[in-house]
Amino acid sequence: MLPLDGKRVAITGAAGGLGAPVARLLRQAGAHVTGIDRVTCPDCGESIVTDLSDDAALAELADTLARQTPDILVNIAGVMRFGLHESQPADALALCYRINLLVPAVLARAVAAPMRARGSGQIVNIGSVLGSIPYPWFAAYSSSKAGLAALSQGLRRELIGSGVTVTHINPRAARTAFNNGEVTRFLQITGMKADEPEWVARRIVSAILARRETLSIGVMERVYAALNAIAPKLVDNGLAPQIRRARAEFS
């Protein structure tokens, strides 16, 4: 028997560079996967084509998930904002916070009560190491992902003892179309690592199957995240050379 035989999984961003391999691996584990994206999701058993930036569409999706609650909800859909914060249009900032934080919060709200009532379920939020190590030129993205980490922790504490698991996963950058040319250049000049999407997807699915509470990918990233929590000035000093190189390139 496969580990997810008979389980129903809903994934936002399932047609994307990271969502697609996660969907495929979950199907290989036996799950029936419903992909939620702006386009049909080829790696899913079925698709819900919707626009998460639209209020009415989000409300309809939340209602659907509340009535037909999956065993596992995976929030992968995300929006990247790169550049000096002062240069970001207000509507772009709103979209970043909406997709990265509001949408997972709304969908988690929709499934939490039905999952609690039946005594089982799993809510999986895909964050980013930039949420625990906020980077310059990624202020909105980092803060939205930091908010997602807090949402996951708060929700986990609400659901202790209910049979519902909340899993929060922090990947590093992955080599997908999510990164535009400027982001790719930033990764190069700062020496930040970008992982293969398939490798990241395997780590995510492994964490889902193990019903882990948290997973942060990368040894040094975990070290920096811990330091940033207790001694942020040390991280400021450690990042200073990267910031100088980035400022020369992008400011």
Mean pLDDT taken over the chain: 93
Say if residue 211's pLDDT is above 80.
Answer: yes
**What's the rounded Cα separation, in Å, for the pair 138 and 178?**
14
Say if residue 244's pLDDT is above 90.
Answer: no
Give residue 26's identity as a one-letter amino acid code: L
CA distances from 104 to 70, 109, 219 (A): 15, 8, 27
* Helices assigned H by DSSP within 68-196: 90-97, 103-118, 129-132, 139-158, 181-190
pLDDT at 241: 87
Q: Token digits for 166?
A: 């909340």
Domain assignment present for residue 3? The answer is no
The DSSP bridge partners found for residue 19 are none
Spatial CB neighbours of 198, under 8 Å, sequence gap ≥ 6: 21
Region 34-60: mean pLDDT is 97
Specify the pTM. 0.94
Q: Which domain holds residue 232?
A: 8-250
Number of domains in the chain: 1
User: CATH no. for residue 207?
Assistant: 3.40.50.720
Domain assignment present for residue 238? The answer is yes
Q: State pLDDT tens for residues 74-121.
A: 999 999 988 889 999 999 999 999 999 999 999 999 999 999 999 999
First and final CA of the chain: distance in angstroms? 55
Domain assignment present for residue 1? The answer is no
Domain assignment present for residue 71? The answer is yes
- Assign 69 a pLDDT band (cuts: 50, 70, 90): very high
pLDDT at 106: 98
pLDDT at 251: 67
Domain assignment present for residue 187? The answer is yes
- Assign 2 a pLDDT band (cuts: 50, 70, 90): very high
